[in-house]
Amino acid sequence: GQSLEQPSEVTAVEGAIVQINCTYQTSGFYGLSWYQQHDGGAPTFLSYNALDGLEETGRFSSFLSRSDSYGYLLLQELQMKDSASYFCAGLFSGGYNKLIFGAGTRLAVHP
Amino acid sequence: DVKVTQSSRYLVKRTGEKVFLECVQDMDHENMFWYRQDPGLGLRLIYFSYDVKMKEKGDIPEGYSVSREKKERFSLILESASTNQTSMYLCASRSTELNTGELFFGEGSRLTVL
């Protein structure tokens, strides 16, 4: 199968670090993406990991471990504007590449 | 910048009506996708198209069909709308050249079926 699991909600305070985990089923898996979506907005792409390891882009980092079928998004120096929903999405091939999304993690950042 | 444009932000239709949701992208992307988004369920893939006139079913294709006659345009069709199709519909496109998991999304079409 092709599905992804992530926590439904995470709460943190400004300035803190938060990690959002994502596990996936491996059938046809190519890589893992992360998206951010603010209320009322469209999802926007944050990162993509095809290889094991950590990818850093400013305050956000994304990690993938293919052997553990697991990845995470790490958000540092949290700001109020980071309050949003975060989706992991697996790139899978069943002949043609398609992206399957997790149910999303709602991050609430408090002062 | 890539632009993905969905024809209607808000639609209200009646049960049994035929509904067309249009999506146009301006970056010559090969792949286009239709998702629906419901609270607590994330984005679920309805259909995708990997090239003109080519389509593949996603995870929840029942009650929907699609059309891709031109590379830039991907239409989602609800042949006979039902109340359980009330949802936010998101169109996205992707370049196969980059071969990454980056999708470009439209702003969404919120459909209410009465």
Quick check: B104 and A45 CB within 8 A? yes
> Could you report the per-residue pLDDT of B16-50, keeping only the tens digit for each?
999 999 999 999 999 999 999 998 888 999 999 98
The whole-number average pLDDT for the span A39-68 is: 94
In this predicted structure, what is the pLDDT of residue B95?
A: 87
Q: Which two tokens stand for residue B68?
A: 């891709």
d(CA A22, CA A100): 12
User: Residue A94 above 80 pLDDT?
Assistant: no
Q: What is the mean pLDDT of chain A?
A: 93
Higher pLDDT, A13 or A27: A13
d(CA B98, CA B106): 19
Sign of the alpha-carbon torsion through B79, B109, A75, A55? positive
With beta carbons under 8 A apart, name residues in chain A contacting B41.
Answer: 103
* Among the listed residues B33, B37, B50, the one whose alpha carbon sits nearest the alpha carbon of residue B91: B33
The whole-number average pLDDT for the span A71-89 is: 97
With beta carbons under 8 A apart, name residues in chain B contacting A32.
Answer: 101
